[in-house]
A and B are shown apart, each in its own frame.
Chain A
Amino acid sequence: MSEYLLDMRGIVKDFNGVKALNGIDLKVKAGECVGLCGENGAGKSTLMKVLSAVYPHGTWEGQIFWEGQELKAQTIRETEEAGIVIIHQELMLVPQLSVAENIFMGNEIKLPGGIMNYSAMYKRAEELMRELKLPDVNVALPVFNYGGGHQQLIEIAKALNKKAKLLILDEPTSSLTKTETEILLDIIRDLKKKGVACVMISHKLDEIAAVCDTISVIRDGAHVGTRPMSGMNTNEIITMMVGREIKNLFPREEHPIGEVFFEAKHVTCVDVNNPARKRVDDVSFQLRKGEILGVAGLVGAGRTELAMAIFGCYPGDYQAELWLDGKQIKVDSPRAAVNQGICLVPEDRKRHGIVPLQGVGANITMAVLNKFTKFGVIDASAEMHQIQQSIARMRVKTASPNLPIKGLSGGNQQKAVVSKMLLPNPKVLILDEPTRGVDVGAKYEIYKLMFELVKQGLSIIMISSELPEVLGISDRVLVIGEGQLRGDFVNDGLTQETVMTAALGQAIKQVA
């Protein structure tokens, strides 16, 4: 038998010709914890989906050896039976069912006739809870009685019950408080002693350092390196993660920057599911006229929530004090925001950006439809005139403006959504991941447009997970980490390492 429990070799996965993984190796020994690191979109989650057969064998190239045998799983069930259990970032518990019912979901202990054997399940669930040092959990109570941290541990109990030999934890602490995180890390150490291996995907390097024996870094779908954790320091890891060159993809143009005219003060957002946690914690910043303000940070750091609070659409409790042109403004709905001159191009294009069944044109004019009306009746010609102008300006490629927008490519949909949010003539345009899922050509056009807009005096807040993009486009960069403002840098000789270091928690404030 090989010395490795898991040995993935040369994994290649491509999506319509785009290689998300390009020859990745990952090796894990029994009882070992491997930290998997990489920037957003580096391919970590895709790799784990290949391993757990979310992408079945045959849809990717390469080989996976599990306990010395080649694994050719077609379904998640097969990999789970083999002992590979993945715990997703989004918890997969049914809140209304009891702790025990959740632990045994799909795996119930039954009496003859399909009747649930509750006493046996409760007994086993209690054993698991003791094993996880949670003796005070009442396994008969619904899961919603317990907070995010406990729920994460209940997921782990569920995995252990499946006799997991390898536990994959995808950002396990992203929704936990500090204390809850400590408990979780203790449990992982305990599991290692019992011979359970872990792969931990995390952006939090201190946590990786605390529990992992080995660290594996991937970048742009390629394997950068695997090193023993001992002897590594965070700077080395960061260098491995960001080593990408900034290619000449950014059509940077000089533009004049004016005075501060927009200010957000003390923006605070409370987590909808875990009121003890703040998604955004007292963030304040200023924006100058004609400026492109990049907002960097890791996924889940609270950047999108910050944007939502400014746009008046954060779903939970929040506070935000906004000042525009020296006056405090009240923004309690997207409508109010648009009327005040603040527009948002949302991150999740499918859910929040497009109205899929309506035409490209109708999507573009949605926010300003009243401009083309007389007594509520649309002047179709005037509207079409505007639509054609917008389509031409943004070079949206569509066979007809009447074609449902869902048929367009991601890049063209994005251009249409940006057009929509430009028509109200905003003063502040917030772009949340404007180039996600957009091809290189469309990206370039979006950048060009951004410079054209700031030259006209508009100000842009660009949230982006791609560091090269943030550094290539922005005049100033805010770094958000765990809901807090970690840095406010003038983009002059700013390096990816500095930004990443701030994002990962080593706050170096250098106020502009």
Chain B
Amino acid sequence: MSTASKNLQRFFSQYKILTLLFAIIVIWAFFNHLTNGAFLSARNISNLFRQMAITGMLASGMVFIIIAGEIDLSVGSLLGLLGGLAAILDYTYHLPLPMIFAIVVAAGLFVGGWTGFWVSYFRVPSFIVSLSGFLAFRGILLGITKGVTVPIESPGLVAFGQGYLPEIFGNIIAVAVVLFLVVQTFRNRSSRAHYGLLVAPLWQDVGKLVVTALVVAGFMYTLNSYEGVPVPVLVTLVILAIFTFMANSTVFGRRIYSIGSNLEATRLSGVNVRLIKVAVFVLMGLMCALAGLTTTARLAAGGPSAGTLGELDAIASCYIGGTSSRGGVGTVYGALIGALIMASLDNGMSMLGLDSFWQMIVKGSILLLAVWVDVMSGAGSDR
């Protein structure tokens, strides 16, 4: 192999995240040029983020499933089922909003646990278990909705999908996040110093913080100049924060990567690997509940076809976002950037008035390209 291609490989594997951001910039510039600036208008950006939120929620759960070396094909159907359940609880039973949330979330956790249990304890491959869910959950949805769309009435539920965060709250949260990051950075520096570890140069950390602050400010400015931060986007960002923390700083997160990289070695270290796998699927069920509620709220109705192909978008987002198809590697923010790339392609192409078949062809090609890059950058795998 030539040195040039080796260097390229190293670049891709080390700066995966930069490659992805670069891809977004190229895609956005391209559509913005073709739509004469309409693509990057505040209104469209707000719309774009709201579009990616549902896939983003699913991808946030899916990324852990793939890291753990499994797959879940049932999430689109489960999203539809739980969204339909929410609509029925509202329209038919007029339950109060907190109750609807509680029931739907509980159902999501239960179904996730069901899938995980079959995978982990009965050792049925996750591809099969979730394929069965893919069929069965959609069937249950058709049964309980009798195949018709169920409208929703609760204004609170509608706001969960369509509402915006008032500008002032949005700004407060943004400032709080930046302050939190500053405090964390300096605490981290002092704790590293305390243990005699190498501390990065100050300018490097400050530089990172400044860039982060600028990105947050730009994001808030753009969204506020339309209507504010859409609620589903806020939910997705909260998930991003919690899951990233979970992945990096909790035992559970560490174990997920560990079983994906080498299940046997993890088991032989005395870890209950079965329980970890079940928990990963339970988490996926929770994400399906949130995504289902958001979908129903956004459409103001629960329909029998809601969430169709949602699993494939979520899986594609993970792979595009650098999750390894061999397990053990991946990040939540990568998966969300993957979802953003997919949403940008959808949004841009429909603005250009291209038929939806083009969207499918392009997304399919991008997926293939992204995984090829991943395989190339991990070439000569010695696992």
For A338, give the chain B residue with the smallest CB separation.
B270
* Contact segment of B78-86, B151-159, B255-263: B255-263
Chain A, range 315-368, C-beta contacts under 8 Å to B: 334-335, 337-339, 344, 346, 351-358, 362, 366-367
Q: Does A137 lie at the interface of the complex (its beta carbon under 8 Å from any beta carbon of B)?
A: no
Q: Mark A383-397, 1 if CB is under 8 A from B, else 0.
A: 011001000000000
Q: Does A290 lie at the interface of the complex (its beta carbon under 8 Å from any beta carbon of B)?
A: no
* A351-B264, A355-B261, A356-B383 given; A337·B254 CB < 8 A: no
* Contact segment of A139-147, A372-380, A478-486: A372-380
Q: Is B382 touching A356 in the complex (CB atoms < 8 A)?
A: yes
Please indicate the chain A residues that have their CB under 8 angstroms from the CB of B252 in the complex. Answer: 376
Tell me the minimal C-beta distance from A4 to chain B in angstroms.
Answer: 40
Q: Is A344 touching B268 in the complex (CB atoms < 8 A)?
A: yes
Q: How far is the CA of A406 from the CA of B195 in the complex (A)?
A: 26
Q: How far is the CA of A353 from the CA of B271 in the complex (A)?
A: 13
Q: Does B250 lie at the interface of the complex (its beta carbon under 8 Å from any beta carbon of A)?
A: yes
Please indicate the chain A residues that have their CB under 8 angstroms from the CB of B197 in the complex. Answer: 384
* Count of A-B contacts judged by CB separation below 8 Å: 87
Q: Is B270 touching A335 in the complex (CB atoms < 8 A)?
A: yes
* A378-B249, A406-B382 given; A352·B328 CB < 8 A: no
Q: Does A370 lie at the interface of the complex (its beta carbon under 8 Å from any beta carbon of B)?
A: yes
Among candidates A353, A378, A384, residue contacting B254 with C-beta atoms closer than 8 Å: A378
Q: How far is the CA of A346 from the CA of B251 in the complex (A)?
A: 23
Q: Is B261 touching A358 in the complex (CB atoms < 8 A)?
A: yes
Please indicate the chain A residues that have their CB under 8 angstroms from the CB of B52 in the complex. Answer: none
Q: Mark B230-251, 1 if CB is under 8 A from A, else 0.
A: 0000000000000000000111
Q: How far is the CA of A376 from the CA of B252 in the complex (A)?
A: 7
Q: Does B318 lie at the interface of the complex (its beta carbon under 8 Å from any beta carbon of A)?
A: no
Please indicate the chain A residues that have their CB under 8 angstroms from the CB of B41 in the complex. Answer: none
* A355-B258, A366-B269 given; A406·B383 CB < 8 A: yes
Q: Does A381 lie at the interface of the complex (its beta carbon under 8 Å from any beta carbon of B)?
A: yes
Q: Does B181 lie at the interface of the complex (its beta carbon under 8 Å from any beta carbon of A)?
A: no
Q: How far is the CA of A357 from the CA of B383 in the complex (A)?
A: 8
Among candidates B250, B265, B272, residue contacting A351 with C-beta atoms closer than 8 Å: B265
Tell me the minimal C-beta distance from B352 to chain A in angstroms.
Answer: 41
Q: Is A335 touching B272 in the complex (CB atoms < 8 A)?
A: yes
Q: Does B146 lie at the interface of the complex (its beta carbon under 8 Å from any beta carbon of A)?
A: no
Q: Is A354 touching B265 in the complex (CB atoms < 8 A)?
A: yes
Q: How far is the CA of A385 from the CA of B197 in the complex (A)?
A: 10
Among candidates B250, B265, B270, residue contacting A377 with C-beta atoms closer than 8 Å: B250
Q: Mark B262-291, 1 if CB is under 8 A from A, else 0.
A: 101111111110000000000000000000
Tell me the minimal C-beta distance from B300 to chain A in angstroms.
Answer: 38
Q: Is A346 touching B268 in the complex (CB atoms < 8 A)?
A: yes
Q: Mark B324-365, 1 if CB is under 8 A from A, else 0.
A: 000011000000000000000000000000000000000000
Q: How far is the CA of A356 from the CA of B266 in the complex (A)?
A: 11
Q: How far is the CA of A337 from the CA of B271 in the complex (A)?
A: 11
Q: How far is the CA of A373 from the CA of B194 in the complex (A)?
A: 19
Q: Is A357 touching B264 in the complex (CB atoms < 8 A)?
A: no
Please indicate the chain B residues that have their CB under 8 angstroms from the CB of A351 in the complex. Answer: 262, 264-265
Please indicate the chain A residues that have their CB under 8 angstroms from the CB of B225 in the complex. Answer: none
Q: Is B269 touching A334 in the complex (CB atoms < 8 A)?
A: yes
Q: Is B254 touching A367 in the complex (CB atoms < 8 A)?
A: no
Q: How far is the CA of A313 from the CA of B266 in the complex (A)?
A: 12
Please indicate the chain B residues that have their CB under 8 angstroms from the CB of A362 in the complex. Answer: 254, 258
Q: Does B191 lie at the interface of the complex (its beta carbon under 8 Å from any beta carbon of A)?
A: yes
* A357-B261, A384-B197 given; A420·B251 CB < 8 A: no
* A362-B254, A376-B251, A378-B251 given; A355·B266 CB < 8 A: yes
Can you sample 10 A-B contacts with CB below 8 Å?
A334-B269, A346-B268, A357-B328, A358-B328, A373-B250, A376-B252, A378-B251, A378-B254, A384-B195, A406-B382
Closest 6 pairs (CB-CB, A-B): A338-B270, A357-B261, A367-B269, A335-B270, A357-B328, A355-B262
Extra pairs beyond A335-B272, A356-B328, A356-B382 (7, CB < 8 Å)? A311-B268, A352-B265, A353-B268, A377-B249, A380-B191, A381-B195, A406-B382
